[in-house]
Structure 1
């Protein structure tokens, strides 16, 4: 028996997320319900006692007998991931580690670090890792009328369509650097409900005072930009490349520095509107053929 198995567990549950079975156990049963707010979007309860990843959370706090504070501990399988007096830090580490596990091992889906919105039946992808400003840009796109899909991952199927991953938007507070979650309604928007073809990939990095004047990348350059942000690229390169090729061969890929997110969001949507062919409806779950995505910027 491993040391972590002897810590004394009071309660637990298992769930399915993108085809993977995950288990969670805690040392205090009262804490179990609060963990569900940190699970990936679309998770479903599972009755199976067999899981592919097991998370163990020890909630510390004050030790009444010794007058000392006990650490909060997080284990992923048998590896200790976090040791901290701050409960919120442990929960953030749990959420981050869990989402990356699911993103890397998801069945029939390819996860790309990217913000995603829908606009007139097509998706706009903003690839980038943490601290690249993609949540800020996504929030401004939503404020400008786009439909929210994700501020963290573009979830692609084998046809290159992007599916909703509508977690709360994690806005980083400038005062302390911590993230605060906001529902899409806080930005006057709504979440998408179905898959969309990708019409535009906006490869963008923040530069103070910059105007968004992007250049067009080739399909090959676009694939490389997406591949660099694909979670499963090293483990399953063939499957990742197949999905990314579907995106890069149909979507316009633009790259350029950006300034303020609000200005960039308006510029992106204006560019999309100018280059759309014909009049399209505002419903993101359009039944028009995916091939129409290829018309953008062509």
Structure 2
């Protein structure tokens, strides 16, 4: 197969992204942007390999095919394919990293340390992360909090995945006027917050043990590396401000979180 490939290491995991000659060279640059943040080139054998293939005329359903260990998936639209590639590789790294524990969580930086927002997709993480960035926080991630053995939270500055009525946009934090955090931080606050348009927006103190359980519930490798997950969850919640509740307005919730650290 002609075309190209990128083989990289991210948080101790090697993955490979390849594409055939049906993919236009200009489009290959978009594929490179789907690699996990902080990835570095390597020649080591990959643990996971996915391949993008062009399939049929531009206006046909199934214009692109993503081949991987889990089978073949067709995508009629390029943006949908890019999202699938990014999700596939990131999920594999998050599950198999020997160097860190990954949590489904938004994460931003403050002078006091990191704010963690554990939650799965559609919990409103990105909206609240965006509000915190507007309030002056630095950006770590809107999808994964990456925690090393010492309890430090490392930047995972993927593009923010912002949903709207017209679809999904991947936006670099810099386009929102935010600074990307360039060094790991200790955890200062854990907030288990979910979106509810009818909520009163009041966030209340949460017992650190329950905060740790919320983190465990959102750990990618909770079933495969339970000991490391439990230790990391306890270390994050211990000594941190812990809050929980339902929020409606993201900017109001962001102010509450920052006030809790003041």
Q: TM-score, normalised by structure 2?
A: 0.92
Counterpart pick for 1:75 among 64, 67, 74: 67
Q: Matched residue of 1:62: which SS?
A: coil
Counterpart pick for 1:24 among 9, 17, 26: 17
Structure 2, unpaired ranges of 5+: none
Gap change, CA 1:87 and 1:186, over 3 Å in 2: closer
Offset, 1:256: 0.8
Match of 2:34 in 1: 38
Equivalent pair of 2:17/2:51 in contact (CA under 8 Å): yes
Structure 1, unpaired ranges of 5+: 1-7, 274-298
Spell out, residue by residue over 1:122-163, the C-alpha distance to the aligned partner (whole angstroms, 9 max, x if none): 110011111111101111111011111111111111122211
Offset, 1:81: 4.7
Structure label with greater radius of gyration: 1
Match of 2:250 in 1: 261
Aligned partners of 2:252, 2:241: CA distance in 1, in Å? 20
Equivalent pair of 1:14/1:24 in contact (CA under 8 Å): yes
Aligned partners of 1:84, 1:189: CA distance in 2, in Å? 32
Q: Supply the RMSD in Å over aligned alpha carbons.
A: 1.9
Q: Matched residue of 1:12: which SS?
A: strand
Gap change, CA 1:270 and 1:219, over 3 Å in 2: closer
Runs of 4+ in 1 over 3 A off after TM superposition: 67-71
Offset, 1:240: 1.1
Q: TM-score, normalised by structure 1?
A: 0.82
Aligned residues: 259
Spell out, residue by residue over 1:227-254, the C-alpha distance to the aligned partner (whole angstroms, 9 max, x if none): 1110011111111111111112121221
Equivalent pair of 2:241/2:260 in contact (CA under 8 Å): no
Equivalent pair of 1:122/1:198 in contact (CA under 8 Å): yes
Match of 2:195 in 1: 206
